[in-house]
Amino acid sequence: MTLSHYILLFILPLLGSGIVIAFVRLVRGPSLPDRVVALDLMATLIIAVSAAYSVVTDQPAYLDAAIVLALITFQGTVAFAYYLNRRGKNV
């Protein structure tokens, strides 16, 4: 088996199940930080799916999309941390 077969048969289904589990945490999360961490995890898993699919199809454009999504996700995480920091000082 080649790397493409391993990715298609094992890695992509595992990443997909991780996205489903993170979505359950997103829906059931008791607090806002739990939900944000679950959303961040989902974005990271989607980036991994995009990178794995890029390897399988030999299309580097998917890696570019993954990099852009990673940058946007990082900015969102920093903005949320800033929001929590500001909210903590005013309470």
What is the 3 state secondary structure string of the chain? CCHHHHHHHHHHHHHHHHHHHHHHHHHHCCCHHHHHHHHHHHHHHHHHHHHHHHHHHCCCHHHHHHHHHHHHHHHHHHHHHHHHHHHHHHC
Tally of domains within the chain:
1
Taking the model in full, what pTM does it have?
Answer: 0.85
* Helix-helix angle 61-90:32-57, to 10 degrees: 170
Length of the chain, in residues? 91
Of residues 61 and 88, more confidently modeled: 61
Chain segment 38-77, per-residue pLDDT in tens: 999 999 999 999 999 998 999 999 999 999 999 999 999 9
Work out the mean pLDDT of the chain and round it to a whole number. Answer: 91
Query: What pLDDT score was predicted for residue 11?
Result: 93
